[in-house]
Amino acid sequence: VNRRVIAHVDMDAFYASVELLRYPQLQGLPVVIGGGRRRGPLDHSPDVADFERLRNYTGRGVITTATYAARGFGLHSGMGLMKAARLCPDAIMLPVDFDEYRRLSRLFKAAIRAIAPQLEDRGIDEVYVDLSAVPGVDDGQGLKLAQLLQAEVRAATGLTCSIGVAPNKLLAKLGSEMQKPNGITLLMPEDLQSAVWPLPCRKVNGIGPKAAERLTAMGLHTIGDLARCSRDDLIDSFGAHQGAWLHDVAWGRDERRVVTQSEPVSMSCETTFERDLHAVRDRAELSAIFTRLCQRLAADLQRKSYVGRNIGIKLRFDNFSSITRALTLPEFTSDAAAIRRAAGQCLKRAPLERKLRLLGVRVGGLMRSDEVMSHTVDVAQSLSLFDNEALTGKR
């Protein structure tokens, strides 16, 4: 049996660290990333006093990432900015700059790929890497390889990362969190009892707030507690699928492969309004936003060369409850007007008594637009070549 060597590489406080790279004068200060898109360009080397402070913020944003200094004040990602402002009014607030984060994301992934090509993307700031076939990985060289990965990532980006090395994804992911920032943790099966069992169940990727609460209610707090449950008891409580999975997790078992390529399933655009809007009273404003979302989504699909035929909307009401409505079109599309029409049909089936907080549009059932050739949609498109506009050469 070939034992695998899997690494999980997790960039440390990624967005915040990218900003500290740009503004080294903020090093060591509480800084949070979040809020609006951008708020006027800053000078190249602004004084610390020139940065926006949390105390001046009004709005509905949340913290996307907090520097380690900010975490010292109890700030963390997902926290509402208004609440964060109460905890640490002097914290510096920076708008998100996704283009820059994506640029550095590509750099760090390329640096890793150059050493270990079997890489699975897990979002902008983390990856799994299968090191099994990398030369020199045998007996005890896992640490050396992880050090090499860290060095190359830092050389390529100036950023630090934390790495877990283990026989599978589950343990590698647990490991990468254990010695943040800039840490390396090797987890072997024999470390299960000493290093993994003491951890709260919530640390496991896939056990969220709801599952953790159910486990707590059963008196199960740590992964070790879980390991003392029989497989059958867990299956009785959580169902065949999740119960068996929980049991495997507790014993450090995970056979999932590192998936080096995948296709997107859906794309979406959504926005939270600055104030809650009423479907009737704010009809014009809402309609304009709705159309803009569809246009942005269509542009995204076209830029990435995808079409889809499942069109859906998401509504969030003033009480934070959400609903979705969706329909499947007979033909694939990435056309803004077609998406807008279908999404409008969906909206008709939604209750609109309450004020709205968020509106979203989604296209699912995606297919690469260059693979759609033989499809009926192209019949429609080629037919449109013969419409009047094309024939008369207008436009």
Among 141, 272, 291, 381, binds DNA (CB under 7 A): 272
Residues 240-269: x/- map of binding to DNA (CB under 7 A)? -xx---------------------xxxxxx
Among 271, 291, 302, 381, binds DNA (CB under 7 A): 271
3-state SS assignment for residue 254? coil
Query: Does 158 interact with DNA (rule: CB under 7 A)?
Result: no
**CA pair distance 82, 57, nearest whole angstrom:** 7
**CA pair distance 189, 252, nearest whole angstrom:** 7
**Token pair belonging to 4:** 């695998």
Report helix angle 98-115 to 142-157, nearest 10. 140
Contact region for DNA (CB under 7 A) — 23-31, 39-47, 109-117, 359-367?
359-367
Among 29, 42, 82, 289, binds DNA (CB under 7 A): 82
Instruction: Name the minimum Å distance from CB 330 to DNA.
Output: 9
Instruction: Name the minimum Å distance from CB 70 to DNA.
Output: 16
What are the residues whose beta carbons fall under 8 Å from the beta carbon of 386, sequence distance 6 or more? none
3-state SS assignment for residue 328? strand
Our CB check for DNA shows the closer of 134 and 343 to be: 343
How many residues sit in the footprint of DNA (CB under 7 A)? 58
Query: Does 19 interact with DNA (rule: CB under 7 A)?
Result: no
Query: Does 75 interact with DNA (rule: CB under 7 A)?
Result: no
Instruction: Name the minimum Å distance from CB 112 to DNA.
Output: 15
Query: Does 59 interact with DNA (rule: CB under 7 A)?
Result: yes
* Of 384, 298, 300, the residue nearest 335 (C-alpha): 298
Residues 291-310: x/- map of binding to DNA (CB under 7 A)? ---------x---------x
Residues 314-353: x/- map of binding to DNA (CB under 7 A)? -----xx-xxxxxxx-----------------x--x----
Q: Is the dihedral of CA 45, 47, 48, 51 positive or negative?
A: negative
Among 77, 118, 287, 295, binds DNA (CB under 7 A): 77
| Active centre residues (catalytic) | 126
Which residues inside 204-233 make contact with DNA, applying CB under 7 A?
204-212
Query: Does 147 interact with DNA (rule: CB under 7 A)?
Result: no
**CA pair distance 310, 301, nearest whole angstrom:** 13
Which residues inside 113-142 make contact with DNA, applying CB under 7 A?
122-126
Report helix angle 14-22 to 98-115, nearest 10. 100
* Of 295, 351, 305, the residue nearest 332 (C-alpha): 305
Radius of gyration from C-alpha coordinates of the chain: 25
Our CB check for DNA shows the closer of 344 and 364 to be: 364
Among 4, 9, 61, 294, binds DNA (CB under 7 A): 61
How many separate helices (H) and strands (E) can be counted in the chain?
13, 13
Instruction: Name the minimum Å distance from CB 393 to DNA.
Output: 37
DSSP assignment of 207-231 equals --HHHHHHHHHTT--BHHHHHTS-H
Our CB check for DNA shows the closer of 2 and 262 to be: 262
**CA pair distance 232, 4, nearest whole angstrom:** 28
DSSP assignment of 37-53 equals S--SPPPSS--GGGS-B
Query: Does 87 interact with DNA (rule: CB under 7 A)?
Result: no
Which positions lie near DNA, rule CB under 7 A? Answer: 58-62, 64, 77-78, 80, 82-83, 122-126, 173, 204-212, 239, 241-242, 264-272, 275, 300, 310, 312, 319-320, 322-328, 346, 349, 357-358, 360, 364-365
